[in-house]
Amino acid sequence: MIVYLIPSLIQGQQVVYVVGGVVLAITALVLYLVHGFSLKTGAAIVGTLCGSAIAMIGALWSTDALRLTGITGDEDLVLSAVASQVKLSNLLIASMVIAGFGALNDVTVTQSSAVWELASANEKQTWRQLFFGGMRIGRDHIASSIYTIAFAYVGSALVTLMLIVAASPPLARLINDEVVAQELALIMVGSIALALSTPITTACAAWFAVKIAKSEAAPAT
């Protein structure tokens, strides 16, 4: 990440291609190395990549719709002065995708493993049974992961948020503040990506598990 991502963003390269390439490489490398080459891992990778794509779309849309500049502190202004080719809004988009990447990996791997365990317990289950069984487990995981992301974002910007609230601005001004809008966008983008990656992973894992069960049950010719 340090070798490629940061230098590429400093050079002002296209954020979609840079972050997309990093996410793809890290997802495949880390998950396959840690969890091994299997369809179970493949389902988690599909879910992670789809979730990251959703996060990227959400980041691009929210940055444009909310007109976020990425400038929320002195360090942003310093970076803009030192590296004038850097577009700070692109850094914000990259941070939205990367910030939730670890949580996405956690959710998708856990969800794929849960479906695999359900399939192992009863190999005669259909795709529909595995999917809804996995989603019953996934609902609780989604909620806890969203809480984790929300508290992490709020905690990282707690001092800044306290300063804004202490100034007692009108509600309309508070909501339109760049820092507040940015934190809300981070939470929403990460939460939506997590919520949608769970059914995607569950569907893929259930499909792979059913295919394996059918191939093992088929008579040898």
Q: Where are the domains of the chain?
A: 5-215
Using the predicted structure, report yes or no on whether residue 183 has a pLDDT greater than 90.
no
* Alpha carbons 120 and 130: distance in angstroms, whole number: 11
* Higher pLDDT among residues 73 and 95, named by residue: 95
Query: Model pTM?
Result: 0.85
Q: How confident is the model at residue 219 (pLDDT cuts 50, 70, 90)?
A: low
The yes-or-no verdict on residue 168 having pLDDT over 90 is no
Helix residue spans in 11-126 (DSSP H):
15-35, 39-65, 74-82, 88-99, 101-121
The residue-averaged pLDDT of 151-161 equals: 75
Answer for the pair 69, 88: CB distance below 8 angstroms, yes or no. Answer: yes
> What pLDDT digit, counting tens, does each position of 14-59 carry?
888 999 999 999 898 888 898 888 899 999 999 999 999 999 999 9
